[in-house]
Amino acid sequence: MKALVTGATGFIGGHLVEALLARNDEVKVLVRPESRTGGSNQSAAVPVKGDYRDPASLARAVSGMDVVFHVGGLITAPDDAAYNEDNVLPTRALISVCAESAPALKRFVFVSSISATGPSPAGIVLDETAPLRPVSGYGRSKAAAEEITRSFSGRVPWTILRPSNVLGPRQKELFTSISLIGKRIKPLIGNGRPQTSVVSVWDVVRALILSAEHPAAVGRTYFVTSGRPYAWREITDAVASELGVRCVYLPVPYPIQWAVGAVSEAAAGLRHKVPLLTRETVAATRKYYWNYDDSRVRRELGFEPGFDMAGAIRKTVAWYAERGLVKIR
CA distance 123 to 228: 12
Q: Which CATH number fits domain 2-171+198-230+291-309: 3.90.700.10, 3.40.50.10540, 3.30.70.3270, 3.40.50.720?
A: 3.40.50.720
Alpha-carbon distances, residue 39 vs 5, 31, 45, 71 (angstroms): 14, 13, 10, 16
Other C-beta atoms closer than 10 Å to the C-beta of 212 total 22
Identify the pLDDT of residue 37: 58
Identify the pLDDT of residue 55: 96
CA distance 37 to 274: 22
The pLDDT tens digits of the residues spanning 241-285 come to 999 998 776 666 656 655 666 666 666 566 666 565 666 666 666
Q: Of 242, 234, 233, which Cα lies nearest the Cα of 315? A: 242
Tell me what the mean pLDDT of segment 121-139 comes to. Answer: 95
Inter-residue contact 198 to 164 (CB < 8 Å):
yes
Q: How many H helices and E strands in the chain? A: 13, 12
Identify the pLDDT of residue 280: 66
Q: Is 159 helix (H, G, I), strand (E, B) or coil?
A: strand
CA distance 315 to 178: 13
Inter-residue contact 105 to 98 (CB < 8 Å):
yes
> What are the φ/ψ torsions at residue 252 (nearest 5 degrees)?
-125, 115
Tell me what the mean pLDDT of segment 68-93 comes to. Answer: 94
Residue 130 burial class via C-beta count within 10 angstroms: exposed 0-12, middle 13-18, buried 19 and up: middle
Min mean pLDDT across 100-109, 187-196, 214-223 is at 187-196
- 15 pLDDT above the threshold of 70: yes
Identify the pLDDT of residue 191: 75
CA distance 77 to 280: 12
CA distance 127 to 7: 27
Identify the pLDDT of residue 247: 75
Q: Where are the domains of the chain?
A: 2-171+198-230+291-309
CA distance 225 to 207: 10
CA distance 289 to 120: 5
The pLDDT tens digits of the residues spanning 82-113 come to 999 999 999 999 999 999 999 999 999 999 99
Cβ neighbours for 308, distance < 8 A, ≥ 6 positions apart: 226, 227, 228
Sign of the four-CA dihedral 268, 274, 277, 279: positive
Query: What is the distance of C-alpha 155 from the center of its chain?
Result: 26
Identify the pLDDT of residue 265: 61
Amino acid at 310: A
CA distance 204 to 15: 9
Other C-beta atoms closer than 10 Å to the C-beta of 249 total 13
- 293 pLDDT above the threshold of 90: yes
Quick one: CA torsion of 267, 271, 273, 276, rounded to 10 degrees? Answer: -30
CA distance 179 to 183: 7
CA distance 80 to 38: 28
Query: What is the distance of C-alpha 244 from the center of its chain?
Result: 28
The pLDDT tens digits of the residues spanning 141-162 come to 999 999 999 999 999 999 999 9
